[in-house]
Chains A and B, each alone.
Chain A
Amino acid sequence: MRPADDIERLNNKAAVNTNPKMDEAVLNAVLAAHEKATGEVSAATRPSARSIIMISPIAKAIAAAAVVLIAVLGLSEFLGSGSKSGVAWAEVLAKTEQTPSVMFDMTAEIDQSQDKKLVMPSKNYVADDYGTRSDMFLDGKLSLIRYRLPAKKEAWQIRVDQKKYWRFDLSDEEAARGRDRDDPRTWLKMILSGDYTTLGRDTINGIVAEGIECKRPEMVGEDGIMRLWVDVQTDLPVRIEVEMLGMEGGQMKQQKFVMENFRWDFEFEPSLFEPNIPGDYTQGEDPRAGRSAQGSAGVKQTPPRTSPEQAR
């Protein structure tokens, strides 16, 4: 075994546990700091600009008049709240829930610097009976295959470019999360779970579709936005877009994920969900092995690093 592997193995086994008594003391100090800070913030909270403006009787009158005008002139259609489109939005999720499988393409774009983006397309397969599989590409080459197989309570990551693979056991809790990961229906649920703005009609990949967009700060941050385009004929999604800011290199960077080319109710070969490891691949250490039981409760769910410097 190469020394680097030995060091990696030692690092994975290296672990720290905590003294429960001290744990409680430190946590109490942290919670006290939180309580004090949040208390001070609420006491110091200033009225928002909107509430200051609305204190003025004239401003209130103007705002009320604007509401009346919008109602009379039917401007709400142009302001885009609510849906008047032909798509039965309530049916979209129900229809996809009835399909046991889907295949789709996803492209992840992450800003690296002013004029440079990391673009990672992937082919994705979701089947209720088996789990999920993602084939990710970098610079046109297959770089990573990721399997999540809740029925077998296992997950796999295969770095094709490194001829290396990892196998993870899923805990009951992790397996019970089922298809949540990498499943477009998770995003549909989020988008359709609250208010949204209509985007009208457009042709997406040759399909006439109607779109909506929404903000769900609890899911994609304050600056994030999600869009859904649905086929007006079938009420099935044709594109899902997620844009948000993410921490990259110590800075907030724009990230965009586009899921499209959906083939709903696609019949898969079972072998598609069977990891096929070539004989010359070596097995990597489970990065969770050296962590404490507490720390490992959350699976390290990000794929192995696929930054350009590593993926070369």
Chain B
Amino acid sequence: MYIFPKDLYVDVRIEESFDTKISFKKKCLIEQKIRKNTGAFIRVFDGKRWYYSSISEVDLVQEQIDKLAQMATPNPHILEHPVVQKFEVNQTSKLNYANEPITNLSVLRKRNLLESRLELLDDPIIVNHTSFYVDNRTVKQIYTSKGTEVIFDKQTCGIRMSFDIAYGESKDQVSVSKGFDTFEALEMTEEYFRNEIQKTIEFVKNAVPVVGGEYTVLLSPMATGVFTHESFGHKSESDFMVGDETMQAEWTIGKSVANEIVTIVDDGNILGNGFVPFDDEGTEGKKTMIITDGILTGRLHSTQTAALLQEDLTGNARAMNFEFEPIVRMTTTYLEKGDRPLKEIISEIDKGIFVDTIIHGSGLSTFTLAPSRAYMIENGKISQPVRISVVTGNVFETLSEVDAVSSEFEFLGFVGGGCGKMEQWPLPVGFGGPYTKVRKLNVQ
């Protein structure tokens, strides 16, 4: 397909994307657009340095390959370079959504679905609201000078409803969101949105400021998912370890890093936001056991990091879109469920906090969760709603402080946000988990 220059490694990623966005302000349609874009990202490697180019004219790919090749220094031994040797060679097509793509649905059907949800916001204390429906189908093709030729697709759709509440002196701006990979699944979410909106209204009416301090904290599947992603997911991205002997020693495979009830997985094969049948270097999607029964058993890799750390490929080289190079990112990351019923776990908490929903989280050596809805747990029962700025904990201490995980489990998908890593934000990722009890976290 392309003429690859001699003595260099080259790969080309072509992305064809289709997006719909429909927005309502209160019950008035304010935007409806369909966007179709195509672009390409080209990489050339001479064994010492990479050269990248992002273009929107895919008929200029060959010209860009040649330009980048002129910047590089030909290397007759390029095929023996450990990174180049490590690249998988795949030649296949995985078009999961080719038969019933979301692009074939009428925009009217999508608009009607969103419009039908708006009556859920009819409440006297909801003083304003903006809601949108979005979908995306992206078809990617990857061609490499080692022989990879793959074509695959991904699609997502979702609704996000943002609403302003004014109840006396209590005011809040809140969002409720849900995303799936098929429109049919999204059509089944009326009860979900109804419940979430009602819970939020009751929360704003009744929430009081929390008394800051250390508490036993019960995390919902959403909070567990964000906690897992932020606290440990980012630390398993191995680009942070390359060239860093301290980190490599700290993160030795086989080391005990958590309570034995903790198992954390990253899996690119799960449909939804984190679905990565091939990553953006053409490596096939894989399931990686990051922590198994409290023991560090794996980490996430691009081809470069896998080669440098002499480990197996995991299919985690992802780019936000055709404007960026692939870097190590999560796909769908979750904490495995346990075998204890939620009721039983709550009943053993005398005084604690239940974190139900999350605005955002972050993860360095200290991780943070900024709750949207949280409640006191008193004498084994969920009670008073409380406003919390932030829940924090040391990552390692917290993983050891996890002392119960429920048998109830959810995978979660949302629209209108994503994971950020340096300049690449937002990248859609999947996450999930059970209800998780942590013995001690700082709540402010």
Chains A and B come from one and the same complex: no
Q: Which residues of A does B touch, CB under 8 Å?
A: none
